[in-house]
Amino acid sequence: MSLENFVALADVFDVSVDYLLGRSNSRKAEYHQMSEELRLDDETIDLLKAVIEEDEENPPYGRRIEIIDDLLNHPDILSAFGLIRNACNAYELYRVYSGKKVMERKAEDKKREEAEKYLFRYGLKAVDMAVVGNVWITQALALMDRAIREYPAWAVEDYNRRLAEEFGITERDK
């Protein structure tokens, strides 16, 4: 296929050439870098862009992106992500060790070996790993819940301060 036809095909399907070549998971060329760096799909990027646009059209009250950013940087949320990663490792080991051809699979996967070292350090077995994975997920959800419930307490004061600084709006003016 000629280059011109290939580009035309990309235009017809409204996708990037990189997407057609399998070099990007993002259908849109302008999302390629963001998609690769953040591992977000096009729909999530579209949603975030829409939220940003709505927030920009509605100052001073449009602060959803700042709230998302604050939550993602909250220590409890970061800890929860680590617990979820550990739970995924535990689940993978449980799946492998409860299946057939265990020795073949074990030799293939370095990530599994790293997870195995981490979990076996605590004396866990295949069944234990499934249970521990569930415990880690439960702990992660509790941390996320705490961060979200805690959010209004630490955000309201900051939000009011920003309103006062940027727009001269005080609590009494609301």
Whole-number Å distance between alpha carbons of 140 and 76: 8
Q: What 3-state class would DSSP assign to 101?
A: coil
pLDDT > 90 in the chain, percent:
2
pLDDT > 70 in the chain, percent:
74
Helices (H) and strands (E) in the chain, counts: 9, 0
Report whether pLDDT(42) > 80: yes
Whole-number Å distance between alpha carbons of 82 and 140: 8
Residue 165, number of CB atoms within 10 A of its CB: 9
Looking at residue 131, its pLDDT comes to: 77
Smallest CA-to-CA distance from 62 within 164, 155, 159 is with: 159
Rounded average pLDDT over 118-140: 75
Whole-number Å distance between alpha carbons of 43 and 34: 12
Looking at residue 27, its pLDDT comes to: 87
CB 21 within 8 A of CB 9: no
Q: Give the range among 49-58, 137-146, 156-165 with minimum mean pLDDT.
A: 156-165
Report whether pLDDT(126) > 60: no
pLDDT in tens, 96-121: 766 655 555 555 566 667 777 777 77
Rounded average pLDDT over 66-90: 85
Looking at residue 154, its pLDDT comes to: 59
Smallest CA-to-CA distance from 95 within 118, 117, 116 is with: 116
